[in-house]
Amino acid sequence: MNTEDAKKRLYELYDIIEKHNYSYYVLDEPTVEDDEYDALMREVKALEAAHPELVTDYSPTRRVGGAALSTFEKVTHTVQMGSLQDVFSEAELYDFDSTVRREVEPRYSVEPKIDGLSVSLEYRDGVLVRGSTRGDGFVGEDVTENLRTIRSIPLRIAEKLPFLEVRGEVYMPRASFAKLVAEQEENGEQPAKNPRNAAAGSLRQKDSSVTAKRALGIFIFNVQQVEGKTFTSHSETLDWLAEQGFPVVGHTVCHTIDEAVARIRGIGDEKHGYAYDTDGAVIKVDDLAQRDILGATAKVPKWAVAFKYPPEEKETVLREIEVNVGRTGALTPVAIFDPVLLAGTTVSRASLHNQDIMDRLGIAVGDTIAVRKAGEIIPEVVRVARSSGNALYKLPDICPVCGHAVEKDGDESAVRCVNPNCPAQLLRGIEHFASRDAMNIEGLGEAVVKQLCDSGLVHSSADLYELNEQDVLSLQGFKQKSAGNLLKAIENSKQNQPDRLLFALGIRGIGRRLAELLLRKFGSIDGVMNATEADILGIDTFGEVLAKNVCEAFADEQMRELVERFRELGLKFTYDKAASGDKFSGLTFVLTGTLPTLKREQAKEMIESMGGKCAGSVSKKTNYVVAGEAAGSKLTKAEELGVAVITEAQLLEMINGGEGDSNDEDHKD
């Protein structure tokens, strides 16, 4: 494809993908299936790779994050990003209205107050050029690359004004917050306190690819500056922003203070059902000229106030404290209390996280405690309302599962069981080993892992590779076909790149991304095992704690023995960047039907990890159709066009070293 045709198609794809993003992330109305969307993105990546001179700042590929930053540059706000005066009662709302009416006859815009991190977005000629945090209102930080990863932010807008600055609130949806906390608890890390803190921490990540994984959202609530257009009211600006593709905060125009107060009550009733946190409602004079008349004090505008809802807390009696053991050995205390209704659901348990937090609470079994929901979703103990007089609770000195001694880990808050053979650690460790981002063994979920451990068939993750059909058939719920599928899935996982294995080993703080960075630096599992802390500190994003965790993990004799078993079992140890990235370069695959052992997502991931593309439909440019059971019209189309049809087994053979080299001219587009 020549450059002009590539440019035309590429920019057409940009428009199509942004429309799909707007429908999905702003309107919550998907307009395309995932595989079709993925195919569009792969086409963009292929065109950009072939024509890098055509790549723009508003390419959707900029949303996945890029290289790590060493620092954030300071940004001076030409229009101050100020704060609002808080009020806490309806009487204060009426007082605000009386003050306003001394100067003007207002109508009001009432909006939920999103509990997040305030940011500025700047557009020149319709294209996003900079995004920054509020900071102290006068000076913030440039976090443009991280903001690009938020898919609801338009990278360009239809009306190409010379300059536009808008203000919005970045938030972490409650579902994303719950997932993040669960991962942090599982890894023995200090969990985020609430969605707002989690959003702030995510937006200030030095590695924007980490931000991209946090699934942040944004609501735009103000035009800070604009050139080339005029507005007469705040509600007019919000309607225009919505037309330009911005996710705009919900707003209601009210003509009296009674209407405004009623709407604020309504938001208070509705807020538990929102997908995000609100900590109040904002009432603003809608007319922009009236705002100029009202002016501002040295600290806050006189034309708006923020109403803060009282936090919903319930008192209940703490009946017991249960202690769970995670895969890293961390002991997590969980409060069990009389059920209470909070934010629309009944709760009876909440994590107390660690001994330090329990010490700050001064908590004992039998106390009356105050409970609320962090992020309207995760129950937390706020304080002791009335003491029972019982002894303050202390975590046990021995592991409640295996009876081995526990230790406080350096400066960390966590107390850990130091027995590597602890059954609880074994169970959680194998679940982690088989999880999607680790070895991705389909069918090896929590219930199956528990059966394997309880039956004595598995004492370490390496034992999974020595299971036979009779072993699996002895488990509840397995028949010959399902047993065969599980064994094939385990065997197939041997072909994973070693960054997955490194992540699967469960080294504290080492996620999939960091595991990949280690393998890219040292080339193999052996290289990582023999690296010093100084060697590891030479990698961006690695600090002293992470470097120490890696070195201490591989200094452990049992870890080295486990790694040697994996070597003997045939798992991959050498990171083959070239093979991973290029083997299927230039090849297009179409998946159809039900494959014997692989889910479609797994097969797609394997193909794409080797540089191939997965399309949603068959065409003359398709190189291979991978067909499973009940393959339909795609198989027929392939036969009509003479496209090669292969089985899952043949695909795996290609991946493991068979045909399919991208230098084979017969298979190039």
- Measured over the CA atoms of residue 357, residue 359, residue 362 and residue 366, the dihedral's sign is positive
Whether 26 maps to a domain, the answer reads yes
In terms of domains, do 122 and 261 share one?
A: yes
**What three-state secondary structure class fits 129?**
strand
Span 520-537, pLDDT tens digits: 889 999 999 999 999 998
pTM of the model: 0.53
Span 563-581, pLDDT tens digits: 999 999 999 999 876 545 5
In terms of domains, do 211 and 272 share one?
A: yes
User: How big is the CA angle at 198 (ends 194 and 202), to the nearest 5 degrees?
Assistant: 175
- Phi/psi for 298 (5° steps) reads -65, -20
* Mean local confidence (pLDDT), 266-272: 87
Whether 413 maps to a domain, the answer reads no
Contact 595, 572 (CB under 8 A): no
Q: Of 282, 307, 332, which one is at a domain's C-terminal end?
A: 307
CB burial class (10 A; 0-12, 13-18, 19+) of residue 568? exposed
pLDDT band at 664 (very low <50, low <70, confident <90, very high): very low
Rounded CA-CA distance 489/598 in Å is 7
113 is catalytic: yes
In terms of domains, do 641 and 656 share one?
A: yes
Cross-strand bridge partners of residue 220: 168, 248
Residue 458 has pLDDT above 50, yes or no: yes
Span 3-62, pLDDT tens digits: 888 888 888 888 888 888 777 666 657 777 767 777 888 888 888 888 888 887 778 777
Residue 634 has pLDDT above 60, yes or no: yes
Q: Which residues contact 27 (CB under 8 A, 6 or more apart)?
A: none
CB burial class (10 A; 0-12, 13-18, 19+) of residue 105? exposed
The lowest-confidence range among 106-110, 136-140, 506-510, 649-653 is 649-653
Q: Of 307, 333, 368, which one is at a domain's C-terminal end?
A: 307
Helix/strand/coil percentages in the chain, nearest 5: 40, 20, 35
Q: How many helices (H) does the chain have, and how many strands (E)? A: 25, 22
Rounded CA-CA distance 488/484 in Å is 6
The per-residue pLDDT for 237 is 96
Rounded CA-CA distance 355/173 in Å is 28
| Structural domain harbouring 471 | 423-569
The per-residue pLDDT for 377 is 66
Q: Which residues contact 611 (CB under 8 A, 6 or more apart)?
A: 580, 581, 582, 583, 584, 585, 586, 587, 662
Residue 100 has pLDDT above 90, yes or no: yes
A 10 A CB-CB count for 560 gives 13
Contact 368, 432 (CB under 8 A): no
* Mean local confidence (pLDDT), 321-335: 89
In terms of domains, do 220 and 86 share one?
A: yes
Whether 415 maps to a domain, the answer reads no
Rounded CA-CA distance 493/500 in Å is 10
In terms of domains, do 145 and 274 share one?
A: yes
The per-residue pLDDT for 25 is 64
Which string of DSSP letters, residue by residue, matches 256-267? SHHHHHHHHHHH
- The two tokens of residue 266 are 């309504």
Whether 638 maps to a domain, the answer reads yes
**Total structural domains within the chain:** 5
In terms of domains, do 352 and 435 share one?
A: no
- The two tokens of residue 140 are 């913030």
The per-residue pLDDT for 409 is 66
Rounded CA-CA distance 615/31 in Å is 18
Whether 410 maps to a domain, the answer reads no
Diameter of the chain measured on Cα atoms? 85
pLDDT band at 256 (very low <50, low <70, confident <90, very high): very high
Cross-strand bridge partners of residue 140: 75
In terms of domains, do 140 and 43 share one?
A: no
Q: 278-285 and 304-307 as β-strands: parallel, antiparallel, unpaired?
A: antiparallel
pLDDT band at 652 (very low <50, low <70, confident <90, very high): confident
Rounded CA-CA distance 450/300 in Å is 58
Higher pLDDT, 181 or 295: 295
Whether 408 maps to a domain, the answer reads no
Whether 409 maps to a domain, the answer reads no
Q: Of 569, 587, 615, which one is at a domain's C-terminal end?
A: 569
Amino acid at 290: Q
Q: 624-627 and 588-592 as β-strands: parallel, antiparallel, unpaired?
A: parallel
User: Which has the closest alpha carbon to 312: 283, 350, 271?
Assistant: 271
Question: In CATH, what number is assigned to the domain containing residue 334?
Answer: 2.40.50.140
- Measured over the CA atoms of residue 463, residue 468, residue 470 and residue 475, the dihedral's sign is positive
Contact 61, 14 (CB under 8 A): no
A 10 A CB-CB count for 380 gives 20
Query: What is the DSSP-derived secondary structure letter of residue 254?
Result: E
Residue 446 has pLDDT above 60, yes or no: yes
Whether 62 maps to a domain, the answer reads no
User: Which has the closest alpha carbon to 78: 202, 182, 163?
Assistant: 163
Rounded CA-CA distance 293/656 in Å is 73
In terms of domains, do 560 and 594 share one?
A: no
The per-residue pLDDT for 611 is 67
The lowest-confidence range among 142-146, 170-174, 177-181 is 177-181
The per-residue pLDDT for 220 is 95
The residue with tokens 């994050």 is 65
Which string of DSSP letters, residue by residue, matches 501-556? HHHHTT-TT--HHHHHHHHHHHSBHHHHHT--HHHHHTSTT--HHHHHHHHHHHHS
Q: Which of 74, 113, 302, 572 is the catalytic position?
A: 113
- The two tokens of residue 117 are 């991190």
Span 185-222, pLDDT tens digits: 776 677 777 888 888 888 888 778 788 888 899 999 99
In terms of domains, do 161 and 281 share one?
A: yes
Residues in the chain: 669
- The two tokens of residue 105 are 């006859």
What region, left, alpha or beta, does residue 166 occupy, with left being phi > 0 and alpha being psi -120 to 50 degrees?
Answer: beta
Residue 660 has pLDDT above 50, yes or no: no
In terms of domains, do 193 and 301 share one?
A: yes
The per-residue pLDDT for 71 is 65
Q: Which residues contact 101 (CB under 8 A, 6 or more apart)?
A: none
Higher pLDDT, 584 or 368: 368
In terms of domains, do 96 and 212 share one?
A: yes
Rounded CA-CA distance 414/526 in Å is 30
Rounded CA-CA distance 208/604 in Å is 24
Torsion of CA 316, 320, 324, 329, to 10 degrees: 110
CB burial class (10 A; 0-12, 13-18, 19+) of residue 296? middle
In terms of domains, do 145 and 288 share one?
A: yes
Question: In CATH, what number is assigned to the domain containing residue 112?
Answer: 3.30.470.30
The residue with tokens 């020595």 is 466
